[in-house]
Chains A and B, each alone.
Chain A
Amino acid sequence: MKKVAALLFISALAVLLLYVVASMPPMGDPDNPTATHVIPRYLERAEEETHTVNVVTGVILNYRGYDTMGEVTVIFCALAAVLAVLGRERRGVIHGFVDRSEVPASVIVKTMVRFMVPFIILFSVYTILHGETSPGGGFQGGAVIGGSMIIFTTIFGLYESSRRIPLKVRAPLEGAAVMGFFLVGSLGLVGGGNFLTYAWPRVAQGLHPSLVVWLTVLVEVGIGLGGAMVLTSILFAMIREEEEIAPAS
C-alpha cells in the first residue's frame, strides 16, 4: 500500500518535471536567459578584474568569495560534527579494521602504493598552485590529496598513516581554509577596500597584478590544505575502531 502510494507520487512528480523540461528553452542556445545577463560580463572582464585565467576560479574566490567562505565553514562544521559523533584516534595505539585484516596486502600492492602516492600528491600540489591558470584549484587538489591518503590508509593501516600525518600537524591545518579566507579578507579591509577585495584601493590605484595573484594562490593553498586535512580526519575518525589493540611491537 505504502509502496504503491510512493510509486504514484513519484510518477506524478516525474510527469510534472518532464512537462516542465518540455517547456524549457532549448539546451545550448546562446540566447538562453542563463547565458545572457551577467555571464558575458564575467567572461569578458574576469581576466582584468580578478587576474585569473580560469574564470571558474575567479568566480569562486573573487566574485562570489562570500559564498565559498560560507561553504568552507560548512565543511569545517561537518568535520566537527563527525568528530563529535565518532571521536579522534588516539596516539600510539593501533586502530581500525585495516590493521587486523585477515588478508594482508601483498608486496606488489604495497610497493605500488608506496611508489604512487608521492606522485599523486605532487599532482595535487600542481593542481592547487595552478588553479588560476588551468583546470584545478583548492577543492580539486584537496580532494585528490584526500584520495591519496585513502589509498595509503587502506593498504598500510591507520597506525602507519597517522604516523605520517600526526594529529598535531592535522589539527591546526583543518581550519586552514576558513583561516585563509579570513586572513585575505581582512587584508582587503586593511587595504581600504571591502572584505575579501583582492585589489586594495587605498594602497594603490590598481594594485600590481602579481600581488592579487599571490593572494588568490594563498586562498587556494588554504582551501587545498584545509580540504585535504578535513577529508583525512573524517577518514581516520570513521576507520578507527572503538576497541583498541596495543601495537604489535
Chain B
Amino acid sequence: MRLLHNYHYAAAMLLFCLGLHTVIVRRNIIKKLIGLNIMETSVFFFYISLGYLEGGIAPIRTGGADPARMVNPIPQALILTGIVVAVSVTALALSMVILLYRQYGTLDVDRLMREEEPEAGESGKEG
C-alpha cells in the first residue's frame, strides 16, 4: 500500500535499476554512458521527491508565501550543483571516448579488452 503511495520513489528505483543494467550488460561505451546518465537523473529524482510536501509551493518567499507550505530547499540546492557536475563528468567521459576511438577504432568494450596495446605498449614490452 505504501508502495503505491510512494510511486515517485518506486519509479526512481526502477530507473536506477534500468540504468545499472545498461551499464553492466551493454558493450557499447556510449550506451553505458547513457545508462550512467539515467542512473544520475534517477538519484536526483529520488532526492527531489524526498523533499516534496503535499500541496507544497516552491521555496521562494514572494507575496507573503507561507513558509510552512514550502517544499524542502536543501535537496534542490544539492541537486542543482549535482546536475552541473553530472554534465561535466559526461563531457570528460565523452572526450575520453573520442580519444579511445581514435586510438583503437572501436567502442565495444569486449573488443577493447582483447585489443593489443598500440605501438607504445609493444615497444614497452620489448624494452
Contacts and interface: CB of A to CB of B under 8 A. Distances in A.
Contact of A81 (B8, B13, B70, B92): B92
Contacts of B62: 53, 133-134
A27 B24 contact: no
Contacts, number: 162
A53 B60 contact: yes
B73 A13 contact: no
Contacts of B102: 242
Nearest to A242: B102
Nearest to A14: B17
A85 B96 contact: yes
A212 interface: no
Contact of A79 (B5, B58, B88, B99): B88
A59 interface: yes
Contacts of A23: 2
A44 interface: yes
Contacts of B25: 2-3, 6-7
B77 A64 contact: yes
B94 interface: yes
B101 to A, nearest CB: 12
Nearest to A85: B95
A172 interface: no
A74 B94 CA distance: 17
B69 to A, nearest CB: 9
B109 interface: no
B54 A82 contact: no
A13 B95 CA distance: 31
A42 B74 CA distance: 9
A21 B9 contact: yes
Contact of A238 (B17, B51, B98): B98
Given A17-B13, A39-B74, A29 B54 contact: yes
A55 B73 contact: yes
A238 B3 contact: no
A213 to B, nearest CB: 14
A230 interface: yes
Contacts of B60: 53-56, 133-135
Interface in A1-33: 2-3, 6-7, 9-10, 13-14, 17-18, 21-24, 26-30, 32
A143 B84 contact: yes
A135 to B, nearest CB: 7
B53 A56 contact: no
A78 interface: yes
B102 to A, nearest CB: 7
Contact of B70 (A34, A55, A85): A55
A183 B88 CA distance: 24
24 contacts: A14-B14, A18-B10, A21-B10, A22-B6, A23-B2, A24-B2, A28-B54, A34-B50, A39-B72, A40-B67, A43-B68, A46-B61, A55-B70, A58-B73, A64-B74, A75-B88, A86-B98, A139-B81, A139-B83, A139-B84, A230-B88, A234-B91, A238-B91, A238-B98
